[in-house]
Structure 1
């Protein structure tokens, strides 16, 4: 058998090489996509004009909303949401509006959700700061790992999670941003129950007894949307990777990669009829915790599937949506999606793709800076979901 310590070192070296090669492949792929996007999705003339328009009067506004929502993961939600929408002093028409979203929510599934989402754009969009801070007690459903888990495999996972994430992006050319981000997350008090509420042994998976993830990453973003909350034209492409190492305190060291590409087509050049597309790919390497794996479904993509209904090392999803304003503040949408999860690349196949489709209603709550309340209903393979949420899905 040889020297086991030497054998272990060789394996670790090969893992480092493979992770590095994967990082380079994904980075090269994302750069290629950015270049292709510029060929096939050129900047519209209206977007070019927007950067040279004279300054207009922007009205800052604070929205106070009851948090009356619904997703399959939470059931009905009750609470409050406060959303300041504003522009920093010195901002003109070349600067997108900023927003903070404070939320405090309790759900019919006995979940407690406290959070802050921040999207701060400095004058001229020279710097963009995005934050995601939350503390949740979150009983949720768990079906296991892989693309072929059954509905009968469902159990309940109960845990508390604290998440701190901050991104700092610098504009290097019009619409192109890059910079570092950090994330710290702790999941604890993990228990599993059957459908009758009886505690059961934890599955034999990484992180089933809790974990800490502490990582440093880098992000590149090409963002030419005319609005963060309700985009109607141009595109958004983002690539990022996050290294969660034991050196930084991670108990399940792993690296994650994310590629998110979106395109918006203003069919009538007036923002009332918009065709939107999104492709999302996430992969992890190393030893990710079960709650850090790539997931399919949720309130933003794969609507109709419970978020995490399928999970594994890799997840690829695509969706399209037609958004139509009808009269005044009201509108509707129809959407469809296709996705799959898999473990290794040689395991990938589309014999049982996870499709979903649905429709929804929209109500604009801020006529000066359009922001929609959306009500969606989606269906998938033997599943469905009802959603009441703030802002567009993507």
Structure 2
């Protein structure tokens, strides 16, 4: 387990390395790169390496063309902190549905996998742009047969903080391992339809959002002597939810700005999304509620001669505005659309009705042919706990994390990378393998 001092020292080291790399990228070899910029350095990806091994000619970088699909298939045999050993298949696809000069790149990511923690995962996530970007349609659809611990609400377990609970006159304090194993089935269906409202990358529209959790088994809960309460049970009974199933169905009004040059691996532009979601009981929600979601991403080059060298920033937050949302459907790290937030912690480590997350990443090229790249990253998370015994607000405590990563170019035509990151947080570290950048 990492002590607080070890964590701080690790984050200071990551910050120092990032600073040195930025200076080096911006000045150390800018002059050489500018001098060589007139030379066409052939860009390659992992398939070009395989072609070379098999003595086949390298494939030139394709000029983006309408109607041409690029597909990346990655057999998944590995390990992740949230899933244990993983066996599965991830398929990424990209396509321009009209002239690339007037239409953004459409992307889709399909994942099918089973894990050593008795999890079965099906997911389909996509971002679809119609010709001339008149419509933007996105989906985040998942079916999970899942096992995963939760760790209470708010930010606990840092700096020797205990997690306290109280219910019906029974109270106690937990120290050390705060994990509370849960087993459940989860269905998520999010479909968003946005219409372009001007020529400056602005969109507006609505979404349909369904969250359904069933067959919930709170595996560490004991209500007979000796009593052992869990945060899921205390929260659910306090706010009148069933403890074995619940759902939140709603509609959202959304405004979005997207000027990124490439949604898979941006070199420039920014992304903004603000969404107000209403979950009325007449649509099938267990209780009525409303939520506000906001997200911002931006990308700043540090060397004009090398667009791959950049600083990326990611901010997002979610607030429950009215009513109450079921425990497993509260905002939580690594439950964002592509499960990328919170590197340095296990999925679901922090959860709360109000949550704010911030991350910065320095991305840099390692080889001039574009095959290899690297990243360093820092992030922080804060969340609230509204229960009377806790009453923890946003920014009362902040959980830091950080790490380093390697990038391998999988498809040079659409910039798809295989990503391998090592992240550390307080009391945890892990390796994260994926397709596409974190944000």
Q: Which stretch has the larger CA shift, 142-151 or 353-362?
A: 142-151
Q: RMSD over aligned Cα, in angstroms? A: 2.2
CA–CA separation in structure 2 for the residues paired with 1:146 and 1:310: 6
Q: Structure 2 matches for 1:47-126, cutoff 5 A?
A: 57=65, 59-88=68-97, 90-126=98-134
Q: Structure 2 matches for 1:212-361, cutoff 5 A?
A: 212-269=247-304, 270-284=306-320, 285-296=322-333, 299-327=339-367, 328=369, 329-343=371-385, 347-348=392-393, 350=395, 352-361=397-406
CA–CA separation in structure 1 for the residues paired with 2:416 and 2:211: 30
Match of 2:233 among 203, 207, 212: 203
CA–CA separation in structure 1 for the residues paired with 2:189 and 2:272: 23
1:119 to 1:69, Cα distance in 2 relative to 1, 3 A: farther
Match of 1:145 among 148, 153, 157: 153
1:359 and 1:378 in contact (8 A); partners too: yes
Corresponding residue of 2:188? 163
1:304 to 1:229, Cα distance in 2 relative to 1, 3 A: same
Corresponding residue of 2:212? 186
Question: In structure 1, the residue corresponding to 2:332 is in which secondary structure?
Answer: strand
Greater share of strand: 1
Q: Structure 1, residues 240-278: CA drift from partner, whole Å, max 9, x if none?
A: 021111011101322121111111012222322010011
2:281 and 2:288 in contact (8 A); partners too: yes
Once the 2 structures are TM-superposed, how far is the Cα of residue 368 of structure 1 from its aligned partner?
Answer: 0.8
In the alignment, does 2:422 pair up with 1:387?
no
Number of residues of Structure 1 aligned to a counterpart in Structure 2: 335
Asked which structure has the greater CA Rg, the reply is 2
Q: Which stretch has the larger CA shift, 327-336 or 144-153?
A: 144-153
CA–CA separation in structure 2 for the residues paired with 1:259 and 1:186: 22
1:69 and 1:389 in contact (8 A); partners too: no
Question: In structure 1, the residue corresponding to 2:132 is in which secondary structure?
Answer: helix
CA–CA separation in structure 2 for the residues paired with 1:316 and 1:385: 22
Q: Structure 1, residues 345-377: CA drift from partner, whole Å, max 9, x if none?
A: x84364532001100001111111101111111
CA–CA separation in structure 2 for the residues paired with 1:242 and 1:351: 26
1:176 to 1:241, Cα distance in 2 relative to 1, 3 A: same
Corresponding residue of 1:50? none
Once the 2 structures are TM-superposed, how far is the Cα of residue 302 of structure 1 from its aligned partner?
Answer: 2.2
CA–CA separation in structure 2 for the residues paired with 1:176 and 1:314: 27
2:153 and 2:384 in contact (8 A); partners too: no
CA–CA separation in structure 2 for the residues paired with 1:349 and 1:366: 40
4+ residue runs over 6 A deviation: none
CA–CA separation in structure 2 for the residues paired with 1:279 and 1:164: 24
1:349 to 1:57, Cα distance in 2 relative to 1, 3 A: closer
Structure 1 residues without counterparts, runs of 5 or longer: 1-54
1:350 to 1:130, Cα distance in 2 relative to 1, 3 A: closer
